[in-house]
Chains A and B, each alone.
Chain A
Amino acid sequence: MKRLLGTAISGIVLAATMTFAAPVWADDTLDRGIGSEWSSLDPQVNFDAAAGWIQMDAYEGLVSYDPTGKVVPGAAESWDVSADGLTYTFHLRDGLKWSNGDPLVAQDFVNGVLRTLNPDTASEKGYYFSSVIQVKGAAELADGTSKDPTTLGVTAPDDRTVVVQMLAPSPNILQIMGAFQVAPLHSPSFNEFGAGVFIDPAHVVSNGAYIIKEVVPQSHVLLERNPNYWDAANVKIPFVKYHVTEDVATELKRYEAGEIDITYDIPLNQIEALKASNPDEVHIAPSTEVIYYSFNLTHEALQNLDLRRALSLAIDREVLEGKIVKGEAIPDLSYAGGFDPAYHGPQIAEASMSQSEREALAKELYAKAGYGPDNPLKLTMVSTVSEDATRRAQGVALMWKKVLGVEATNEPMERKAWLDAFYAGTWDVFSDDLVGDFAGPETFLAYMRPSAEPGYNWVKPEFDAAMDKAGAIADPTARFAALAEAEKILLDDYIFAPISIVPSRHMVKPSVHGWADSAAGYNNSQWMSLD
């Protein structure tokens, strides 16, 4: 009996070992690193940037983005804007098809937005339509006060026209009409299989350059060229494989062994060596993630503007990022990052000074606020446990100690606890970061409005008024000018110390063509080719 059981168990394990089939090792596959794991391949649910790459390959929005992040026609070949900037009319290409051959019609895009907003979907992306741009009726559908899909300001008057009506003009609309936000919904398969199953490789129907062929959780997602894509003739790489590799050091070794063509990240301690040995393969560029240290405005000491200013000026951002953190983050003295070259935003007032001048001024302001060697300021800081975040916090604490004599202690905590600590307010200084919804200044500035994020406890009617003023302007240039005025009000209050812009870090094999670095970070595989 025991022997029988033993034989049976070893038989099962042997069989399992054998099913790890022989490798298909083809050069017609682009192997891309995707970091730790995607959270969902459901186009209306996924909120991860890394899984967003898969989504951008498998689906196409009304517009698309070229490798440099520029808006290019997608499923819509053109669009018109009404004179008041409130209504956008998108004209779909003729003869668009889903991957299974079904015709792709304008209503499919409307259904995608409706499903994103539907509370039953439990998607976190509804705010793109209710807050980032204000689509008519979106907020009511998202919070469940309206159940009537006809109240939504996204409509399909005919099979080839999608009309988006907004409550306030927003030139940013084109930044959120891509596949990540407005992927169409193939209703027949969704209705038949339901959430979670309709995206199964066996059932999935998509409209992008690729279709999802195989999914192994924690391992990989394999995509195959979609023959029904309208531009399939120009999609050069037949297969794309996204590999999960949690450990960046392992990922780099897989890259060196040729198992991966484009990495998700580069280990911090390898950057310098790699830049020396393979300079053409190292791609480091600003992303839309900014780092800033927020001051707790509910604490009496930090309500003093001079003190906040002194703390911000005492940080030597060049030394901090270049010598201490060493993660290639770009030192920054503004907030909204200036990701759009058309935006000319302000920097903090002391940006033109040298660091030693800033430090001298910081000492002066610190003394003026009533602190000194006998009466040092004591601060608690909160950061995540990630290596660069803790190094950065230690560096800042060291600079405050050296320049001002401030006694600051950092409390690193894991990410979820850190997020909750923000709202609990159990800190003097919060090591903050924010990823923009798109590569433009408005996404950052809008976040600072008390109505968007009350956690900063910053009440500033002037800022709200300036943002309202900008929000009513349809012309992009005039709107940017108004946003720059709002950013000035924000920076002049020193409610945080801007620190740096986080870079994207990738290794890209010389055999891969068509890769470009951009803040938006859209790198659709359809633009790439292999030697």
Chain B
Amino acid sequence: MLRFVGKRVWEGALTLAALVTLTFFVMRLAPGGPFSRNRKISPEILEHIKATFHLDEPVWQQFGRYVWGLMHFDFGPSTRFRDYSVGDLIASGLPYSLTIGFWAVVIASMVGIALGIAGALRRNTPTDYLAGVVGVIGIAVPIFVIGPLFQVIFALKLNWLPVGGSDQGWRSLVLPIVVLSLPNIAYISRLTRGSMIETMRENYVRTARAKGIGPRRTLIVHTLKGALLPVIAYLGPATAGIITGSILIETVFAVPGIGRHFVDAALNRDYPLVMGITLLYGGLLILFNILTDLVRGWLDPRVRSDG
């Protein structure tokens, strides 16, 4: 177990190192730089501004400087948001993304799994069809349609919740959480349903039933445990993506999270911010993949022996 975790962490570190290197150099291939302007700054001053951010050094030297900073947990200064370091920006935005993402994952898992089980147990009944319709809508209708629609209904017409922003406490969080959970509810419910139906046909479930175990216990202890494996496999990487912020959610609801930095930083050629966000996302992705494997190993002995 410890050996397994140690191996995965080591592999993760290697992956991160490759990610840092690749992102650092590929990013600089894009035309334009952080200080491209349509009003020409005098060359001396531009040089000085670049020197402040060490952009005048050869790229390999900048890379060395960056890696050295990383070893000291210094992500560098943001070139676009001059008042902040990349660490400041992440520290300021992450709580918002984390809170919205966490609740969206919790709601999506609970509702999605419940809908999936209901669909599987009552196959081809109105319950199943309803769950199916919800699923198709959730997957097919994009956030940038559902989001504004909910804003019109719940904020402008009913006046229950704010349109956006972050200054009305928990009320500001409701719409982003609900809208973010919808596509995941849909996906998880379809996944659970399919997997449940398949597992219910497995020999060990039939054996359990033949042994005279009650339907409730068969369902929870035997069927569900096996059926959740693909859901867990999906949730791991999905959680990493959801809690690091959805650019669409944050744009539509004016949430000050870190998701928007993904695109904004790249467009503004804010190299340190792009690096910081990429690293954070990569790190979380690796972490959640390891956690997923641990949970799967706990649920399924076969995974454990493979690992």
Contacts and interface: CB of A to CB of B under 8 A. Distances in A.
Contact of A253 (B38, B42, B152): B152
Interface centre among A20, A417, A424, A447, by most chain B C-beta atoms within 10 angstroms, is: A20
A42 B156 contact: no
A122 interface: yes
B165 A143 contact: no
Contacts of B168: 23, 25
B81 A40 contact: yes
Contacts of A131: 42
Contact of B164 (A17, A142, A218, A253): A253
A119 B165 contact: no
Given A40-B81, A196-B83, A254-B165, A243 B41 contact: no
Contacts of A130: 42
Interface stretch (B113-121, B124-132, B170-178): B170-178
Nearest to B261: A218
A17 B173 contact: yes
Contacts of B33: 416, 420
A178 B252 CA distance: 35
B218 interface: no
A257 B156 contact: yes
Nearest to A18: B170
B256 A126 contact: no
Given A119-B48, A218-B93, A257 B252 contact: no
A220 interface: yes
B45 interface: yes
A88 to B, nearest CB: 24
B166 interface: yes
B52 to A, nearest CB: 4
Contacts of A216: 92, 166, 256
Given A416-B33, A419-B37, A419-B38, A37 B148 contact: no
A415 B40 contact: no
Interface in A407-437: 413-422, 424, 432-434
Given A17-B173, A243-B254, A419-B36, A124 B49 contact: yes
Interface in B38-93: 38-42, 44-45, 48-49, 52-53, 80-84, 88-89, 92-93
A217 B52 contact: no
A253 B155 contact: yes
Interface band, chain B: 35 or more
Contact of B41 (A127, A196, A417): A127
Contact of B254 (A20, A24, A241, A254): A254
Contacts of B159: 257
A253 B45 contact: no
A13 B151 CA distance: 25
Interface of A: 13, 16-17, 19-25, 36-37, 39-42, 45-46, 119-120, 122, 124, 126-127, 130-131, 142-144, 196, 199, 216-220, 241, 243-247, 249-251, 253-254, 256-257, 259, 413-422, 424, 432-434, 447, 452-455
Query: Sorted from nearest, which 6 A-B pairs have the closest CB atoms?
Result: A416-B32, A219-B256, A218-B256, A143-B44, A419-B36, A40-B82
22 contacts: A46-B82, A122-B53, A124-B37, A127-B42, A131-B42, A143-B42, A143-B45, A199-B83, A217-B93, A219-B167, A219-B254, A243-B254, A244-B256, A250-B151, A250-B164, A251-B254, A253-B164, A256-B163, A257-B155, A257-B162, A433-B38, A447-B39
Interface of B: 30-33, 35-42, 44-45, 48-49, 52-53, 80-84, 88-89, 92-93, 95, 98-99, 102-103, 148, 151-152, 155-156, 159, 162-173, 251-254, 256-257, 260, 264, 267-269
